Structure 1
Amino acid sequence: MNRRHFIRSAAALPFISAIAAEKPKRLILRSSWQTVNIGDIGHTPGVLALLEKHLPEVEVRLWPSKLDNGVAEMLAARFPKVQVIQGEAVKKAFEECDFLLHGSGPSLVAQADVVKWSQATGKPYGVYGITFSGQQSSKSKTQPQVKTVDVLSGAKFVYFRDSVSLELARKMGCTCPRMEYGPDGAFAVDLKDDAKAEAFLKEHGLEQGKFLCCIPRLRNTPYWTLPEKKATIDEKKDARNKAMMDHDGKPLLDAIVSVIKNTDLKILLCPEDKTQMKVGKEMLYDKLPEEVKARVVWRESYWLTDEAISTYRRSAGLFGHEMHSPIMCIGNGIPAIVCRWAEQTSKGYMWRDIGLGEWLFDLDKEDEVAKVAAAVLAMAKDPEGSKAKAAKARELVMAKFAASMGVVKGCLSVG
């Protein structure tokens, strides 16, 4: 290279570097598993909100499984810059994006797609807030079976949403260089539909801070009752549901009666998934004494995550058998008590991980069943103390999010 050519080339370097610097880092979020459950819906806007806050310079593309039932519109309104990709757009994203982030969920839900990304691109990936229940393999017809532990081992990081999952992964030989406890992304959801929430509360005589939310569920979600699932009944699971319905409903019934008799609060029976309106009526509402039922509202229709959160924010707290409504409550500073059982895997133990062990009850243990009603009443009678406890847990969760998003940022080499 002669001197004149070198000078011209050197002069161009800052310009070339500036162009390279202007090219945004691009990330695929693989998420959005289903829309018949406001918790499964909540995973996606939670992680999107975190990416927006902590990595504003990164271009995010959402690769969903399901975005029907009004969820696509809800997400588009909150995250107008996020491109949703399907079909050919996924192939293009594989070429253009730098990193794949598998979102929160009950497992490595999209394991086959993570494997496909890794094999097709050789680019890095990470896993953000999942439960791990043991060995599983990918089910793709176009790929040889791959063990979940091996896929997790190949990640830049894996955040498990409960410490039990983390320890199990270690025990089973997962060798990912960074494995830590990391909260479910749904803690970060900031969606809202105040108009719908306020209209419903007004219609049913529910005042802000003057009611508790209660969500019952069956041991196994009866998805076979939903037409869109096109599923046949699972006789074994259905039998288990029927056998445990009264047992699991009793602590909630006792809590409702105790709150009504000892406070001026009302109760809102509401769903987390599309099967639970019927469950709420049959397990709880129909079994309440008439004098108690007069201050209990049964929500007859399903709702989306935005309206649910706006309702929770106006409540004095929540209790029940579900996980993600409590998660979204704590994420918004609202007290929440969780009842769990073996069929729900280990996710409930995240309550211990964030300092809320006193608000976690295992309904497979009779001594804990008997303590639920007293805990709900105590929460109801000490609103300030309960909110302080929720706020402390939220602070811990948000600190974990900040740290884990820093790791994501480091994998993208931005900032």
Structure 2
Amino acid sequence: MNRRHFLTTSLAAVLAPIAAQEGRVPRIILRSSWQTVNIGDIAHTPGVLALLEKHLPHVEVRLWPSKVDNGVDEMLMKRFPKLIILKKEDLKQAFEECDFLLHGSGPSLVAQNDVVKWSKATGKPYGVYGITVSAQSSTVSNAGAPTTIEVLNGAKFAFFRDSVSLEGVKANGCTCPIMEFGPDGAFATDLRDDEKALAFLKEHNLEEGKFLCCIGRMRNTPYWKMKPGHKFDEAKHKRNEAMKEHDLAPLRQAIIEVVKQTDMKVLLCPEDSSQMEINKENFYDKLPEDVKAKVVWKSTYWLTGEALSTYVRSAGLFGAEMHSPIMCIGNGIPAIVCRWTEQTSKGLMWRDIGLGEWLFNMDEESEIPGIVPAVVAMAKDPAAAKAKALKGQAVVHERQRLTMEIVGKSAQAAVG
């Protein structure tokens, strides 16, 4: 850590509690909650809320969501009973009363237009927490609107969830005063629905610590199957069909080897609402009959609380998704990630937190043979896998602490 950053973060840690006692507490608008068809997209919000609660307990937070339907609003309020969830008619008052806007984690500067709206309407500061930014799109302007780089330049800080994004915006001329690696907010998600999870595990004879979770996905998320009115994308569908065996066969073989070489069972579970079908057609239906006896296919979608209550009782997770592994590592559970170009640079965060051995690039043929041995090793030596997961978790925790100090300092400075 350089001296300037040390002084900045240390001063934040000292001043924020003092200022909170002597004057009005900061009021933050958290712009987040992008969609509810994916437990990972859901997890961004409770993760950042948990970080604010832990590190800045004196701060008042109001959530400005895009989507909190399908039971997500009830889940959030159960975990964060003091949370204010803004509706459209509440925004004018919130703009007047709040001091700082924090853009939450996401695959991009998702609510870029709303950040601009906040800045123009209030003149008040904002910051960005844990996003991926495509170097190709960051300098593109839409009908004269500010580019992503220009919006980031106006932020008090910008934290990027992978180093590729961070280096990319720097190369494209970003001048934000504080730009650093800041883990995806979903690492901090601590939602639970133990009742549903325990009932499912009991029904399917899955014992704690004696099963692995596996998630399959296509190259491109088939939103046309998940969202009413979403237009079918023939090009993406063809790409999915062309690559599905290439991408999913190694994971299917890992399932087979885990069952044959260990006493572990495997749970096939979804991260988004399209993946029950993917898991059945590409994994379960193609398994040998003797292997199927130790594999459980979850046929229904679930919300983040039930999923996380399941993951923390597993011996680990492997697959082609990102946010279930993120939530696992955030809770000290081992997780192996397979990625490809269509998923942007976000998967490379595994290298940033010291888990490069658990990251496999499916676009690099030389890496694919390592998937099965890595999964089997996780199953055969859960203690070693757990130790590795905890090292990654420690890196995340330290970055969360440092980035939240900066959030607190910025929010407190904005109080009039």
| 2:240 counterpart SS class | helix
The amino acid across from 1:349 in the alignment is: L
Worse overlay, 143-152 or 113-122: 143-152
Counterpart residue number, 2:73: 72
CA pair 207-139 structure 1, distance change in 2 beyond 3 A = farther
Shift of 1:201: 0.3
Q: TM-score, normalised by structure 1?
A: 0.93
Which residue type is aligned with residue 234 of structure 1? D
AA in 2 matched with 1:289 = P
Q: Deviations over 1:118-168 (max 9, x none)?
A: 11111110000000012347998xx84110000011100000000000000
Contact 2:316 2:334 in 1 (8 A): yes
Report the equivalent of 2:130. Answer: 129
Asked if structure 2 preserves the Cα contact closer than 8 Å seen for 1:137 and 1:145, the reply is: no
Check the 8 A contact 1:129/1:161 in 2, yes or no: yes
Matched, 1:222 2:222: yes
What corresponds to 2:94 in structure 1?
93
Aligned to 2:331: 332
* Deviation, structure 1 residue 381: 0.8
> Contact 1:111–1:138 at 8 Å: present in 2 too?
no
CA distance in 1: counterparts of 2:284 and 2:356, whole angstroms: 28
Unaligned runs of 5+ in 2: 1-18
1:31·1:63 contact (CA, 8 Å) conserved in 2?
A: yes
User: What CA deviation, in whole Å up to 9, does each residue of 1:160-192 have, x standing for no partner?
Assistant: 000000000001111101000000000000110
Alignment correspondent of 1:3:
none
Q: Which amino acid aligns with 1:369?
A: I
Match of 1:349 in 2: 348
The 5 Å alignment of 1:260-339 reads 260-339=259-338
Name the CA distance, whole Å, in 1 between partners of 2:314 and 2:154: 43
Q: Provide the rounded CA distance (Å) in 1 between the counterparts of 2:21 and 2:299.
A: 55
Between the two proteins, the alignment pairs up a number of residues equal to 396
Which residue does the alignment assign to 1:60?
A: 61
Matched letter for residue 84 of structure 1: I
Aligned-pair distance for 1:283? 1.1
Structure 2 distance, partners of 1:52, 1:334, is 23
Residue 359 (str. 1) matches residue 348 (str. 2): no
- C-alpha separation in 2, matches of 1:204 and 1:270: 13
Shift of 1:230: 1.3
Q: Write out aligned runs for 1:358-377 (5 A).
A: 358-377=357-376
Q: Which has the larger radius of gyration?
A: 1
8 Å CA contact retained: 2:25, 2:412: no
- 1: distance between equivalents of 2:328 and 2:20? 44
- Contact 1:112–1:139 under 8 Å retained in 2: no
CA, structure 1 residues 139+83, in 2 after alignment: closer, same or farther (shift >3 Å)? farther
Separation of aligned partners in 1, 2:127 and 2:360: 32
Once residues 342 and 88 of structure 2 are traced to their aligned partners in structure 1, the CA distance between those partners, rounded to angstroms, is 35
- Is contact 2:153–2:175 with CA below 8 Å preserved after alignment? yes
**Partner residue, 2:204:** 204
Larger RCO, structures 1/2 (Cα 8 Å, 6+ apart): 2
Secondary structure of 2:63's partner?
strand
- 2:105 is paired with a residue whose SS is coil
Please list the CA deviations of residues 45-91 of structure 1 after superposition, one character each: whole Å capped at 9, or x if unmatched. 00000001111111000000000000000000000101001212111
> 1:4 aligns to what?
none
For 1:196, give the aligned amino acid: K
Per-residue deviation, 1:218 = 0.2
Deviation at 1:23, TM superposition (A): 2.3
Helix, strand or coil for the counterpart of 1:212?
A: strand
CA shift for structure 1 position 22: 4.4
Task: Give the Cα–Cα distance (whole angstroms) in 2 for the partners of residues 188 and 237 of structure 1.
Answer: 32
Q: Secondary structure at the match of 1:371?
A: helix
The amino acid of 1:58's aligned partner reads V
C-alpha distance 129-229 of structure 1, shift in aligned 2 (>3 A): farther
Query: Structure 1 residue 184 and structure 2 residue 181: aligned?
Result: no
Mapped pair 1:162 → 2:176: no
Q: AA paired with 2:383?
A: E
So what's the TM-score if we normalise by structure 2?
0.93
SS at match of 1:319: strand
Unmatched runs of 5 consecutive residues or more in structure 1: 1-17
> Is the 8 Å Cα contact of residues 162 and 350 (structure 1) preserved in structure 2?
yes
Q: Alpha-carbon deviation of 1:229?
A: 3.6
Specify the alignment match of 1:37 in structure 2: 38
How many angstroms does 1:367 deviate by? 1.2
Q: For residue 109 of structure 1, what is the aligned residue in structure 2?
A: 110
Give me the whole-angstrom Cα distance separating, in 1, the residues matched to 2:269 and 2:236. Answer: 23
